[in-house]
Amino acid sequence: MSYLVLARKWRPKFFSEVSGQNHVVKALQNSLKQNKVHHAFLFAGTRGVGKTTIARLLAKALNCEQGVVSEPCGKCESCKAIDNGHFMDLIEVDAASQRGIDDTRDLLENTQYTPTTGRYKVYLIDEVHQLTKEAFNALLKTLEEPPPHMKFLLATTESEKIPITVLSRCLKFNLKKISEENISKRMTEICKEEGIEFEDKAIDMISQASDGSLRDGLSLLDQALAYEDYNLTANQVSTMLGTIDSNFALNILSAVLSQDKDGLMEALNTVDQLYPDYSDLLDTIASLTQSIAFYQVIGSSKNIDSNENNELINQLADEYSPEMIQLIYQMAITSKRDINIAPTTKEGFTMAILRMFAFQPSELKPINNPSKPSDKRPNNKSTIKTTSTTVKNEKKVTNDNEQKGKIFNPKQWTADVSKMNLKGTVKQLVSHCMFGDIKDQTLQLYLDPANEHHLIERAVISLNDYLLDYYQNITTVKIKVLKTNGTTLAKKKSEATEEQNIMNQSRIKSDPNLQEYMDMFDATIEDS
């Protein structure tokens, strides 16, 4: 007996076995339960996501000898015949090879005849978008007024090429790409049933390479089994796919961030000996920077291969600013666009890494006092919340012999804030802070609860460092979330803007030309 590939051998025979398309399966099963089945269905989606499989399952459910059921029995003669491809009343057509008007007319000539053995005569037209305009026109009339014993099941990867007149006569279901998790789960089940020894990481690598297509994943699994003699290991799968371990990419990224020339050269030479897919390697670096950024914002890592990698990801996230990580990520994805027009992909990749290494703004220094992102956002409760940061001894020693900033004057707080060279979240925070008190070289600021969303940890740390250098007589800064009636710089600017708007409206209303037009058209001015 000839070998049957895994994608065909393990094709779902029941709706319950379909992976990743619950939204489609649920809708079909509900219509089957109620015996309210439309005469024409269109299944759209990329390759290998289950379009033809679901269409065949629907044909089984319609013609099962137990009746129209939400789940075919799989045991009756009709179900078995459909599984084996011998059911006379299921006519499968490949529109890629039978796309002409004559083929369509020959097909439709038989629609007038009742089913031979089944309850319905089902036409399954695959890649329906490849039909010619004339063929679509021939199909259109039958789709509009089909015989009661007819069902049309259409499948396509490019639904935008189907005429709108045809689309309007079908129930359209968009099948989505299958998640890596679902693909890994299904392949794990198959490997256990086949008695295949495997490493979880090997399965995950194949799932990632399948790009949302379960059929592609099973084809890669077949290839890996032939390559490894039915023993799946991560190293062998990596060799087969032409990928390399993320540790190598992480070493390159770490050397770039730390400005380690020797480490970068060593990492690049090591990678070069593995003959990698440089485009894929650049994707891995981009994914790693995304994981670092995710940790900096959310406080946890994701999509990392190992605990060891997790630790290094977390370390890099604490040591380097989000701006630097975002810059590296942007360079990676931009270079991915340009790598194919380089003399070689290796040169394109190397230039991308050198660009990351060279174009790091001087102001984007590693964070001296790494602070793990908070797991929770500030809540909007009425309780007083205090954030305080104290100058470290090392900083005090450094500035003892240097001229620091001006002497703090409470009356000049708002004016000082307007002169401070701050940007982004730090500027927003200080502009909403009001002077509270100064005692024992401790500056107490108040922040209204309505503006508590500006109290971001990194912004607080940056503001603290800035104020300690800006004022001579300040060693500690504290910020309290407290309801006050004082005036902040932000409030002053808002009041000034409102006052200016009132003056502008007054000038407009007193304009003689405008008055003339108002009298002419009997018009009035509405206050905005």
Q: Is 68 helix (H, G, I), strand (E, B) or coil?
A: coil
Site of tokens 């992976």: 19
Closest of 144, 142, 130, 134 to residue 102, by C-alpha:
134
Confidence band (pLDDT; 50, 70, 90) for 58?
very high
Q: Is the pLDDT of residue 147 over 80?
A: yes
What does the pLDDT average to over 224-237?
79
pLDDT digits (tens, 9 = 90+) for 321-355: 888 888 889 888 888 888 888 888 889 999 999 98
Closest of 492, 461, 493 to residue 479, by C-alpha:
461
Cα–Cα distance for residue pair 35/155, rounded to 1 Å = 22
* pLDDT of 517: 67
Percent of the chain with pLDDT over 90: 13
> Is the dihedral angle over the CA atoms 488, 493, 499, 502 positive or is it negative?
negative
Site of tokens 């940890």: 457
Q: Is 470 helix (H, G, I), strand (E, B) or coil?
A: helix
Q: Is the pLDDT of residue 376 over 70?
A: no
DSSP state of 340: G
Cα–Cα distance for residue pair 208/332, rounded to 1 Å = 19
* pLDDT of 368: 45
What does the pLDDT average to over 465-472?
86
Site of tokens 């500030």: 378
pTM of the model: 0.59
What does the pLDDT average to over 106-116?
79
Confidence band (pLDDT; 50, 70, 90) for 405?
low
Angle (CA) 235-238-241 rounded to 5° is 150
Residue 389 CA: distances (Å) to CA of 98, 240, 408, 452? 75, 53, 18, 18
DSSP state of 100: S
* pLDDT of 365: 45
Q: 384, 482 in Cβ contact below 8 A? A: yes
**In the predicted model, what is the mean pLDDT of the chain?**
81
Q: Is the pLDDT of residue 311 over 80?
A: no
Q: How far apart are the first and last CA of the chain?
A: 82
* pLDDT of 528: 53
Token output for 356: 């990351």
Q: Is the pLDDT of residue 452 over 80?
A: yes
Q: 421, 461 in Cβ contact below 8 A? A: no
* pLDDT of 388: 41
From its phi and psi, is residue 452 left (phi > 0), alpha (psi between -120 and 50) or beta? alpha
Q: 484, 448 in Cβ contact below 8 A? A: yes
Q: 89, 118 in Cβ contact below 8 A? A: yes
* pLDDT of 525: 67
Helix-, strand-, coil-residue percentages of the chain, each rounded to 5? 55, 10, 35
Closest of 316, 244, 310, 236 to residue 282, by C-alpha:
244
Q: Is the pLDDT of residue 312 over 60?
A: yes
Confidence band (pLDDT; 50, 70, 90) for 526?
low
- Sequence length of the chain is 528
* pLDDT of 27: 92
Cα–Cα distance for residue pair 250/247, rounded to 1 Å = 5
Q: Is the pLDDT of residue 71 over 60?
A: yes
Cα Rg for the chain, rounded, in angstroms? 34
Token output for 459: 């912004």
pLDDT digits (tens, 9 = 90+) for 178-223: 998 999 999 999 988 888 888 888 898 899 888 889 999 999 998 8
Confidence band (pLDDT; 50, 70, 90) for 175?
very high
